[in-house]
Amino acid sequence: MGEKQLMKGNEAIAEAAIRAGMTCYFGYPITPQNEIPAYMAKHLPKRGGTFIQAESEIAAINMVYGAACTGARAMTSSSSPGISLKQEGISYLVGARLPAVIVNIARGGPGLGNIAPSQADYFQAVKGGGHGDYHMVVYTPETVQEAADLTMKAFDVADEYRNPVLILGDAILGQMMEPLIFKEPSGRKFDKSSWILGNRKGRKSHLINSLSLSEGVVEQWNWELKKKFDLMAGKETMVEEYMTEDADVIFVAYGTSARICRSVVNQARKQGIRTGLIRPITVWPFPSETIAGRAKKTKHFFVVEMSLGQMIEDVRLAVLGNATIHFHGRPGGGVPAEPDIMKQLKEILQS
C-alpha cells in the first residue's frame, strides 16, 4: 500500500495509468481534462513512455490504434466534443480488436457547450457513439480514489477482451482534489504474441484491420464480437448498492450524481425517510439485474442525471413496469442541488 496523497481526479487517472504500465499516451488540449496530458508530458517520458500532443483528437485516437497494434498499453483522454471526434477511431479499435483506454472528462453540450460538468455523453458512451454494432466497458468513477482504481482495472479489462474501455467522468471528478492511495496494479500478464505487429522473427505475418469485402465474413465477425460482448456483460458489471434493503425510494445515479444522491440518502435517513441508492459503476454493462431485483419490492425509482435523461431509459428497461420511475436532471453543465432533490423525494413519498 502506498501513502495517502492529495490529487486532482485528472492527475490521479494519469498517475494510475502510468502505474498500470501504460507507455503510450496521445492527447489534445481540451478543458476540463488538460491536467491529464500535462501530467503525461511531465512524467511519462521520464518513466520510459511516449507522450505526444497530437494535431487533433482524431490523430490521437489513431496513434493509440497504432501503439495498441504493437501490444503497448495505450491511452488517450479528452472531453465531450473531443470524444465525439474519437468515435471513428473507437469503432475501428473494436473492429480490429485492439485494447485501449479512453477517458472522457465530460463537459456541457451539445456543440461546444461549456466546460461545466455533464453526464450528457451517456448515450454516446453506451449506445455506440461510433458506427457499427459494438460495446465497450464504460466505468463511471464517483471519487478520485475510484477513478485511479478503475483506470488500473481498465487496462486489464481492455487487454483481456482486446477491446477499448471508456472511463466516463465529468468536470467535477477531473478537477476536484481528494485524498487517495494508489493500489498496486494487478500485475496480470496478457499474451499478445498471436496478434501483435513487429519483431516478426520468422513467424507468420500478422494483419490488423477491420475490413473484409468477402460475403458473410463481416457478419460472422460480428457474431464473434457478440460472444465477446456477452462475456463482458456477464463478467464485468459493477454496481454498488447503498441502503437499498428497506428503501421505499431507490435513487439510481452514477458518478457525480451518485455523490449528490448519496448525500441526500444520508440526510433523508436522518429524517426517517427510508431511501437508498443503486450506483452503476459500469454503465455498460448496465446493472439491470440489480435494479430488476429491487423493483420487485421497491415501488419508486428516482433517477438523477446531469442530462435531460439518458440512463433513465436503461433503468426503465430494467424495471420493466414493476415500479414508478421519477427523474431529476440538469442539462448543459447544471449540477443537481440536494435541496431540490430532497423536495422532489418528499413529493414522491406524499403522492
Q: Interface with another protein by CB under 8 A: which residues?
A: 23-24, 26, 50, 52, 54-56, 58-60, 62-72, 74, 88-89, 92, 96, 197-202, 205-211
Using alpha carbons only, give the angle 199, 203, 205 rounded to the nearest 5 degrees.
80
CB 338 within 8 A of CB 267: yes
Q: Which residues contact 143 (CB under 8 A, 6 or more apart)?
A: 173, 178, 180, 259
For residue 329, the minimal CB distance to another protein (Å) is 34
Cα 294 from Cα 251, distance rounded (Å): 11
Q: How far is the CB of 201 from another protein (least distance, A)?
A: 5
If the CB atoms of residues 87 and 263 are measured against another protein, the closer one turns out to be 87
Cell numbers placing 249: 425510494
CB 150 within 8 A of CB 84: no
Q: Fill in the DSSP letter of residue 117.
A: B
The nearest distance, CB 312 to another protein, in angstroms, is 33
Write down the least CB distance from residue 13 to another protein, Å: 20
Burial of residue 209, with CB atoms counted within 10 A of its CB: 0-12 exposed, 13-18 middle, 19 or more buried:
exposed
Residue nearer to another protein on the CB measure, 50 or 222: 50
**Distance between CA 116 and CA 97 in Å, rounded?**
34
- CB-wise, 2 or 45, nearer to another protein? 45
Which residue's CB is nearer to another protein, number 194 or number 351? 194
> How crowded is residue 132: how many other Cβ atoms within 10 Å of its Cβ?
13
In the complex, least distance from residue 310 CB atom to another protein, rounded to whole angstroms: 27
CB of 111 to another protein, least distance (A): 21
Q: Are 348 and 300 in contact (CB under 8 A)?
A: yes
Nearer to another protein, 65 or 139 (CB): 65
23 vs 257, which CB is nearer to another protein? 23
311: its cell numbers: 440512463
Task: Look at strands 249-252 and 282-284 and give their pairing.
Answer: unpaired
Q: How far is the CB of 182 from another protein (least distance, A)?
A: 25
At closest approach, how far in Å is the CB of 321 from another protein?
42
Q: Smallest gap, in angstroms, from Cβ of residue 43 to another protein?
A: 16
- Residue placing its CB nearer to another protein in the complex, 54 or 144: 54
Nearest to 133 by CA among 60, 239, 228: 228
Query: 39 vs 92, which CB is nearer to another protein?
Result: 92
Cα dist from 85 to 104, 211, 216, 334, whole Å: 12, 21, 30, 24
Say how many C-beta atoms besides its own lie within 10 A of residue 322's C-beta. 15
Nearest to 156 by CA among 187, 126, 184: 187
CB of 209 or CB of 350, closer to another protein: 209
